[in-house]
Amino acid sequence: MARTPAAALAVLALAVAAGCGGDDAPAPDRSPGSLTVTSPAFAPGATIPARFTCAGDGERPALDVAGVSAAARSLAVTVEDPDAPGGTFTHWVVVGLPARTTHVAGAGLPPGAHELRAWRPPCPPKGDAPHRYVFTVSALDTALGAHADPDAIAAHAIAHGTLTGRFGR
């Protein structure tokens, strides 16, 4: 059976996408539309300070975002713990952040933003190995409202970026 150039390229693309396994750290998103997410509270992969967890006051850490394209109509933030005993636990979901947002303050949200899930600070079970907390900022092609389904974030995302912190008790 003869292969067309298109079929050969498709096979090559699948082979590259499969990659080679390795450590459990998420690979950085290098797509052209990726966002850069940082926090003044902790460095990527570092321990989240106690004041932002159940061991402290449970404040939300501030986030900074860069690289949002002009095509974005709004931003969304999710925070998940993929190491939770019952499976991934969602700690926070916010939609409706203005597309030109570059800083999400720890306290308060800008007008038009809606919490679909209120902030629950990192609080892994005592004795567990430190859990990873993945802060994701997604640029969306629409503005989602207060009654949006959190699954709509993935359906409307045109770019995203993540910041992972760790915390254990």
Q: Give the separation between CA 91 and CA 57, rounded to whole angstroms.
A: 15
User: Which CATH code fits 29-167?
Assistant: 3.90.280.10
Pairing of the two strands 74-81 and 103-104: unpaired
- In 3D space, the residue among 138, 148, 150, 140 whose CA is nearest the CA of residue 63 turns out to be 138
CB 143 within 8 A of CB 116: no
C-beta atoms surrounding 32 within 10 Å:
7
Q: DSSP code of 40?
A: S
Q: What is the pLDDT of residue 33?
A: 67
Tell me the domain boundaries of the chain. 29-167
Please give the pLDDT value at position 147: 94
E runs forming strands in 11-156: 36-38, 63-66, 74-81, 89-98, 103-104, 114-117, 131-140
* pLDDT digit string (tens) for the chain, length 169 residues: 444 444 433 333 333 333 333 345 444 443 446 999 999 999 999 999 999 999 999 999 999 999 999 999 999 999 999 999 999 999 999 999 999 999 999 888 999 999 999 999 999 999 999 999 999 999 999 999 999 999 999 999 999 999 999 999 9
According to the model, what pLDDT value does residue 11 have?
36
Tell me the whole-structure pTM to 2 decimals. 0.80
